[in-house]
């Protein structure tokens, strides 16, 4: 089973000139910042909670060189899927075919599974954690995201079992702020080590 009806959600870029990039995307897309800390910035140009994100390598990996391990450019492209059930049941089917995610994380505003294709291109499949885009944007504007801007990892098998046992999507998607903050996975993981 393929991911059902994925819609392009956002693109994440790695940069070493965050302020310049943010200004360019404000000028070209009319994008506004919904959340920013020294290492990360999230922007939107429509009614979605974020369409663009930037990881500042000069903060995350100040001593890393622009090499294959620490390049600037696209980090990953994200796709939104229609439901938590679709996300997890597709995870189960893909796993049975030998395709597994390298990261399962609840970001607070969205819960995601990250995959890499055979060439190493990274993609995120996600579901919003709130019933509306407004609630997701409110999460970015609130104090909670500052406590954990990356998110907490989860076990897709456990979540699928709990979902099939009758637990609600909302209960599964609620951010557990007592859980350990996940290290960033994928290409940036090398930079943060």
**What would the pLDDT profile of 146-190 be if each residue is shown by its tens digit?**
889 999 999 999 999 999 999 999 999 999 999 999 988 886 554
Backbone Cα Rg of the chain = 16
HSE-up (13 A, CA, CB side) for residue 167: 12
pLDDT tier, 4 (very low <50, low <70, confident <90, very high otherwise): confident
Question: Is 2 inside a domain boundary?
Answer: no
Tell me how far apart the alpha carbons of residues 99 and 97 are, in angstroms, rounded to a whole number: 6
Structural domain span for residue 15: 7-192
**Domain assignment of residue 104, yes or no:** yes
Q: Which residue has the higher pLDDT, 27 or 187?
A: 27
pLDDT tens track for 45-64: 999 999 999 999 888 888 77
| Residue indicated by tokens 């399962």 | 104
CATH number at residue 111: 3.10.180.10
Residue 8 φ/ψ, nearest 5 degrees: -55, 125
Is residue 1 assigned to a domain?
no
Domain tally, the chain: 1
Contact in structure between 125 and 113 (CB atoms under 8 Å): yes
Whether 50 maps to a domain, the answer reads yes
How much is the pTM?
A: 0.85
Report, in this order, helix, strand and coil percent for the chain, each rounded to 5.
30, 25, 40
130 within some domain: yes
Does residue 55 form part of some domain?
yes
């Amino acid at each position: 089973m393929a991911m059902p009806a994925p819609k392009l959600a956002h693109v994440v870029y790695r940069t070493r000139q965050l302020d310049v990039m943010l200004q360019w995307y404000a000028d070209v897309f009319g994008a506004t910042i919904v959340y920013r800390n020294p290492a990360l910035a999230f922007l939107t140009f429509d009614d979605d909670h974020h369409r663009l994100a930037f990881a500042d390598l000069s903060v995350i990996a100040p001593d890393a060189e622009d090499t294959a391990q620490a390049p600037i450019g696209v980090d990953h492209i994200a796709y939104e899927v229609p439901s938590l059930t679709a996300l997890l049941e597709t995870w189960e089917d893909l796993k049975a075919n030998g395709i597994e995610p390298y990261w399962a994380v609840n970001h607070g505003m969205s819960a995601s599974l990250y995959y890499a294709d055979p060439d190493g291109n990274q993609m995120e499949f996600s579901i919003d954690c709130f019933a509306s885009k407004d609630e997701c944007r409110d999460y970015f504007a609130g104090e909670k995201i500052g406590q954990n801007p990356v998110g907490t990892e989860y076990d897709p098998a456990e979540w699928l079992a709990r979902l099939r046992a009758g637990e609600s999507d909302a209960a599964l998607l609620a951010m557990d702020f007592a859980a350990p903050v996940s290290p960033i996975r994928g290409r940036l993981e090398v930079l943060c080590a």
